[in-house]
């Protein structure tokens, strides 16, 4: 799998896309959706919720398992992708374009830069 090189990744299999110096989009990786199988339910936080890096921000449920979702950075949820709530299976079609939430933080770029690169994440997944 080729992971987008403009994204950063976590060991919990979330991706982060820097949208501006203070905002990132978050979703799950193709590796995560593939491991989960057909996704049937998604629970996401409401806008305004403060998150710390590694905090659980929601749950994704598939026909195989239920998994927690983890924030890649500290910040405030400013938007969630409501389309995924009604049709969570979209994640299985293209996990790297179906974002779950947008987080705002004054130092989002610095935090983003501290996450794994695509190459680092690829090597991490290979080691599992």
Sign of the C-alpha dihedral, residues 56, 22, 19, 79? positive
Start-to-end CA distance of the chain, whole Å, equals 15
Taking the C-alpha atoms of residue 67 and residue 28, their distance in angstroms, rounded to an integer, is 11
- 128 residues of the chain, pLDDT tens digit each: 789 999 999 999 999 999 999 999 999 999 999 999 999 999 999 999 999 999 999 999 999 999 999 999 999 999 999 999 999 999 999 999 999 999 999 999 999 999 999 999 999 999 99
Kindly report the length of the chain. 128
Produce one character per residue of 78-91: b if its CB has 16 or more CB atoms within 10 Å, e if not: eebbeebeeebebb
Query: Which of the following CATH numbers is that of domain 7-108: 1.10.3720.10, 2.40.50.100, 2.60.420.10, 1.10.510.10?
Result: 2.40.50.100
Domain positions in the chain are 7-108
Alpha-carbon distance of 36 to 38, in angstroms, equals 7
Cβ proximity of 17 and 25 under 8 Å: yes
pLDDT of residue 1: 79
């Amino acid at each position: 799998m080729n992971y987008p090189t403009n994204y950063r990744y976590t060991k919990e299999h979330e991706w982060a896309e820097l949208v501006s110096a203070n905002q990132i989009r978050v979703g799950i990786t193709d590796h995560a959706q593939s491991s989960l199988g057909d996704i049937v339910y998604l629970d996401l936080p409401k806008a305004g919720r403060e998150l710390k890096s590694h905090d659980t921000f929601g749950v994704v449920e598939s026909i195989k398992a239920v998994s927690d979702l983890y924030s890649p950075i500290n910040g405030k949820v400013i938007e969630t992708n409501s389309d995924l709530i009604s049709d969570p299976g979209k994640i299985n079609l293209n996990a790297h374009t179906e974002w779950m939430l947008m987080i705002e933080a004054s130092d989002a770029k610095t935090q983003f830069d501290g996450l794994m690169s695509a190459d680092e994440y690829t090597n991490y997944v290979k080691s599992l």
